[in-house]
Structure 1
Amino acid sequence: MPSPLFFTGCSGISLVADHHGSATGTPVLLLHGGGQTRHSWLGTAQRLAQAGYRVISVDARGHGDSAWADDGDYSADTMVGDLRCIIEQLDAAPILVGASMGGLTSMVAVGEGHTPSALALVLVDIAPRTEASGVARIITFMSANPQGFATLEEVRDAIAAYNPNRPPPKDTSGLKKNLRLGDDGRYRWHWDPRFLDYAPTKNKGETLTSIERRLAAAAKVKIPTLLVRGANSDVVSHEGAQELKVLIPHAKIVDISGAGHMIAGDRNDVFAETILSFIRDNL
């Protein structure tokens, strides 16, 4: 079982995390995507912990059990600030593994020099340039059902409609960790709805950060970098991955067959081994 950890983000916000594995091994920070929670990394965290790493999966501000921002600030600058604060509270430089939003935050933090130190960067189905249609599909899913769900079965069906290639869970009780139960008896996603105020409003596939900022940050990343792309992803195209390779010439790119944007959930077995192989080869 993981043990709880608590960090203080920028402006003093409380951030909740799970610690798996060694207390002294090289730290691996797992940063989830928008609308997810630290629990999305469970399988990956367990495998990395088995390999001897100190694995820390963090709920971003406004997500999961971390505090909601009083001022509703979920901007890129603030997310980067939270990451900087988390790293400063560690006793060793971490490996950053970020999915979607978490990957963008990590890439910008590293490229702009806002992290005190990081050993390596793993981007999980995210690149500077993303596909507008795929990003729009995510935002549509997140924006749907503002009144919540009456049952866990309704939640299961909504997830299955978004990701029809992943078999729905037979036991729906596991979905509760990604939901909050309101006083009205309805389930809602476990994140602050104001987070969507920072959703993309242009047709460039932008979210949280502008394409210009992403490109500039990527070009300055010097640490070992891995892009893990879902072969069926509608968010990162082959062209988007190749552009990343131009910006970060030393980056390694691996496509995971049978996986879409949610790689850790679709093919965690292959995903975790890909990360371990990259770490062993580069650190």
Structure 2
Amino acid sequence: MSSRRGLTGLGIGVAAAGAATAAGVATDRVLRARRKDRAVPRPADDPVLEQHGSVVVADDGVPLYVEIDEPGDRDDTATTGAKATTVLLVHGYAHSQALWAQQRRAIHDAGYRVVSLDLRGHGRSGEGDDASYTIAQLGRDVASVVEQAVPDGPVALVGHSMGGMALMALAEQRPELVRDRVVGVALISTSAGGLSEVNFGLGKQLGGVVHRLGPGAVARADRQQNAFNAARLLGRNVESALVHRYSFGGPVPRDVIRDLAEMIFGTRLHVIGAYLPTLMEHDREAALPAFEGIETLIMHGTRDRMTPIAHGESLGRALQGAELVVVKRAGHVLPLETPELVSAQLLAFLERAERSTQDEEAT
């Protein structure tokens, strides 16, 4: 294998999905594989939407898939009593709302109304124009979800990775919505900017190569999406090792790695490539003051290779009064690596937000 092709595979792996998606798989075998491209059904045509989910229409017409858990709407759990606050869960780059499965159940069981979103181009949501794959547009999408799926009452926003960046974009664009409706914001494994300096644990020189090759490598692989998918079957061990390396900081069950890999590879490669520039350009530290005065939680792992711990510490300094939880020996995808801890921290955060709201109403 040539060094350039090896770096191209690495560029795809590190850049795509924020979790080392396809490195080592999109190499010579991908380029040699020959499969006719098949159309992928649009999520809006999926009958599952009508059975189990709802559609929020974004400001540019893209259908966004959401699922809503009303307090007490499941027979298999006992809810503790309905709370006033709705919790909106926003996943990260190349993931889906499935990321939140354990937190979603814990929050719902505590009595909260829960709204889970698939970002545009992810999961069961529709695809937009490539030019729409920006963090700014994601901020507008979150606003659309709040307005259509949470039309009244207090709301707490929870974002992982790019989902947290989308919440910053919302604060930048709609500070009045944050001021009037939002009672809390949780930012998990995310950043206010400076991702173009991240070397993914590869060292400065090789990290720079990945930044340069990543977007182009993803774009080239997208032209043979089905060949790329076929090559995955030949390199499951490599794929799992790389997903583990860039997503987690320590041992996790094999099925957790596989579930995350399916989320990542469920995202079309051209979507992954289209989002890369906005991640590198993201700079919203100036928007953070919009969160002042509301309950704020920051969680970050010390072994996060995608958004290193310095990004979480920077958020903690910028958001005075925020609760900063540093998770030792944990990586980027905390909701899957330390699910019980994330659930417990979110529940404590929501209780603080509820108390703050009640105190304000009492005065």
TM-score by length of 1: 0.80
In the TM superposition, residue 156 of structure 1 has moved relative to its aligned partner by 6.5
Q: Residue 58 in 1 paired to residue 117 in 2? A: yes
Secondary structure in 2 matching 1:274: helix
Match in the other structure for 1:242: 313
- Give 2:333's aligned residue: 262
Quote the RMSD (CA, aligned, Å): 3.2
SS of equivalent to 1:45? helix
Cα deviation, residue 281, structure 1: 2.1
CA distance in 2, matches of 1:173, 1:161: 11
How far has the Cα of 1:240 moved from its partner? Answer: 2.8
% identical equivalent positions: 22
- Specify the alignment match of 1:87 in structure 2: 146
Residue 275 of structure 2 aligns with which residue?
A: 198
Structure with a larger share of its residues in helix: 2
What SS does the aligned partner of 2:165 have?
Answer: helix
Task: Please say which of residues 217-226 and 162-171 is displaced more in the overlay.
Answer: 162-171
Preserved CA contact (<8 Å) 1:258 1:267: no
The residue matched to 2:102 in structure 1 has which SS?
Answer: helix
| Match of residue 99 from structure 1 | 160
- The answer to whether the 8 A contact 1:36-1:63 is kept is yes
Q: Is 1:169 paired with 2:254? A: yes
Indicate conservation of the 8 Å contact 2:130/2:274, yes or no: no
1:76 and 1:209 in contact (8 A); partners too: no
> Where in structure 1 are there 5+ consecutive unaligned residues?
180-187, 201-205
Match of residue 228 from structure 2: 148
| 2:279 equivalent in structure 1 | 207
Counterpart amino acid of residue 242 in structure 2: A
- The answer to whether the 8 Å contact 2:136/2:169 transfers is no
- Pairwise CA distance, 1:128: 1.4
Q: Give, in whole Å, the separation in 2 of the partners of 1:280 and 1:106.
A: 20
The 3-state SS of whatever aligns with 1:109 is helix
Residue number among 77, 82, 103 corresponding to 1:44 in the alignment: 103
One-letter amino acid of the structure 1 residue matched with residue 96 of structure 2:
T
Partner of 2:65: 16
The amino acid of 2:155's aligned partner reads: P
Indicate the residue corresponding to 2:185 in structure 1: 121
Q: How many residues are treated as equivalent by the alignment? A: 267
Question: Relative to 1, partners in 2 of residues 1:115 and 1:61: Cα closer, same or farther, differing over 3 Å?
Answer: farther
Q: Which has the higher strand share?
A: 1
Counterpart among 343, 350, 353 of residue 282 in structure 1:
353
Partner of 1:108: 169
SS of corresponding position for 2:116 = strand
Give, in angstroms, the shift of residue 65 of structure 1. 0.7
- Give the residue type in structure 2 aligned to 1:126: T
- For structure 2, the residue ranges without an aligned partner over 5 or more in a row are 1-50, 74-81, 202-206, 355-363
Between stretches 114-123 and 19-28, larger displacement belongs to: 19-28
C-alpha distance after superposition, 1:111-169 (max 9, x if no partner): 44356232211001112144512396799599496542336684564133231434453
**CA-CA distance at 1:107 after TM superposition:** 1.8
Q: Secondary structure at the match of 1:149?
A: helix
Choose between structure 1 and 2 for higher RCO, CA contacts under 8 A separated by at least 6 residues.
2
Determine the C-alpha separation between the residues in 2 that align with 1:242 and 1:172. 27
